[in-house]
């Protein structure tokens, strides 16, 4: 019996590593995009308003596709992740070959569209594999993605400086090939029941859609969906990761070395932050830690943008942004999972990411327009306001002891 338990533990750990590495590839794309954008803008003679609008379109399209999690509830995670990573590789190659800004952004659109399974399918799969420590596990899933984010400032600035931004995307393509191989080879076979939910409603053949509608109408669930749409304006992936390199490069005119140091420290915070905050949430309170994270994240964003060119302050507050902005998603996902009834993990997470990220993707355009019209300082202030507003929504809409937890 002991040997069987250890074998199961090893399999769960392997699954966490493989799903996490797939997540790392998706984050590496977005982080590399943020670092390359200042150079792409110059190369294609465009501006941040145009880039923000095009990025927003791609993000909305990819986020909306997450609704497919409600339809493919029985499709294996391995198949979905393999298709995802093949598509993401094609997106990176398209960006590397792009003759203009529209084809370049088409690469992002392809990657965003292909990457829809990572959050709803990966989150529900891991939450069900580790039901007793879902806060820590989901934070590890986010942290694995942030390791991909960390790879970007470690590799891309020097590649861009030496060989140009196109070479950076060829490097990214090679990384995404490794995620494709890892998923296809090491996740369990789809023929061995690799669905990420034990959907009792499906087994009975009745009631799934009525249960889903009833779930969304619950005040805590609705509040968390709205909070996510608002807080997306200050989230790490998609906002901070896209506009912070531009602020350091275009507004502060920092050297490549200073930019690399600050971004690396920010992404180090993004790696360790979700682990620390997720573990704290499991020991203390999922809801309480999420609300605290919103407040500290808003403060970090404000202190960062009011630090001027002081490298030490930018580095310290950059770490804080990494910790709190990149912990928001896993913490909110953990609180959301507390309200999911048995058998609704993948569908629930599909609604969670579709609703919050589709609407939240508009923030990419809003922040880009704010940068073009008012500057980066106004943009960072707006990011901080979104976190404070989300904290108030969670305070209003949720309660300390969730009525249900999904232990399927």
- 72: exposed, middle or buried (C-beta count within 10 Å: 0-12, 13-18, 19+)? middle
CA angle 189, 191, 195 (to 5 degrees): 85
Q: How many residues in total does the chain contain?
A: 408
Phi-psi region of 343 (alpha: psi -120 to 50; beta: other; left: phi over 0): left
Grouping H, G, I as helix, E, B as strand and the rest as coil, residue 285 is coil
CB 137 within 8 A of CB 114: no
pTM, two decimal places: 0.71
Contact predicate 153/260, CB 8 Å? yes
Q: What is the mean pLDDT of each run of 10 residues along the chain (408 residues)?
A: 60 85 90 88 88 84 79 81 94 95 93 88 79 73 80 85 93 94 81 42 56 82 90 83 85 85 89 86 88 96 93 94 90 86 74 76 85 90 95 88 47
Residue 199: closest CA among 131, 135, 124: 124
* Residue in the structure block whose two tokens are 């940068």: 371
Which pLDDT value is given to residue 203?
Answer: 44
C-alpha closest to that of 353 among 136, 151, 70:
70
pLDDT at residue 354 in the model: 78
d(CA 88, CA 104): 13
CA-based radius of gyration for the chain: 20
């Amino acid at each position: 019996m002991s040997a069987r338990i250890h074998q199961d533990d090893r399999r769960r750990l392997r699954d966490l590593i493989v799903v996490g590495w797939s997540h790392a590839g998706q984050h590496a794309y977005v982080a590399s995009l943020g670092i390359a954008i200042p150079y792409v803008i110059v190369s294609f003679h465009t501006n941040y308003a145009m880039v923000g609008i095009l990025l927003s379109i791609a993000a909305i399209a990819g986020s909306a596709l997450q609704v497919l999690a409600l339809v493919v509830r029985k499709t294996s995670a391995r198949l979905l992740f393999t298709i995802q990573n093949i598509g993401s590789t094609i997106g990176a190659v398209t960006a590397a070959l792009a003759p203009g800004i529209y084809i370049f952004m088409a690469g992002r659109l392809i990657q965003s569209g292909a990457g829809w399974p990572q959050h709803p399918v990966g989150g529900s799969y891991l939450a069900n594999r580790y039901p007793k420590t879902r806060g820590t596990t989901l934070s590890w899933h986010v942290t694995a993605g942030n390791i991909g984010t960390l790879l970007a400032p470690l590799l891309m600035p020097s590649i861009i400086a030496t060989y140009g931004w196109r070479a950076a995307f060829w490097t990214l393509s090679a990384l995404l090939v490794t995620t494709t191989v890892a998923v296809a080879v090491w996740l369990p076979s789809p023929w061995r029941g690799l669905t990420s939910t034990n959907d009792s409603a499906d087994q009975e053949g009745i009631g799934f859609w009525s249960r889903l509608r009833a779930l969304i109408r619950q005040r805590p669930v609705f509040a968390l969906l709205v909070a996510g749409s608002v807080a997306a304006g200050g989230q790490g992936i998609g906002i901070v990761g896209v506009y912070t390199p531009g602020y350091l490069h275009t507004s502060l005119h920092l050297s490549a070395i200073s930019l690399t140091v600050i971004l690396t420290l920010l992404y180090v915070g993004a790696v360790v932050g979700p682990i620390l905050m997720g573990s704290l949430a499991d020991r203390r309170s999922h809801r309480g830690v999420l609300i605290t994270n919103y407040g500290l994240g808003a403060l970090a964003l404000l202190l960062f943008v009011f630090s001027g060119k002081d490298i030490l302050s930018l580095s310290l507050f950059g770490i804080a942004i990494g910790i709190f902005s990149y912990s928001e998603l896993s913490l909110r996902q953990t609180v959301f999972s507390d309200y999911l009834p048995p058998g609704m993990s993948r569908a629930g997470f599909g609604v969670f990411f579709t609703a919050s990220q589709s609407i939240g993707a508009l923030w990419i355009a809003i922040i880009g327009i704010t940068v073009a019209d008012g500057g980066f300082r106004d943009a960072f202030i707006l990011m901080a306001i979104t976190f404070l507003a989300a904290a108030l929504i969670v305070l209003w809409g949720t309660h300390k002891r969730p009525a249900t937890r999904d232990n399927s």
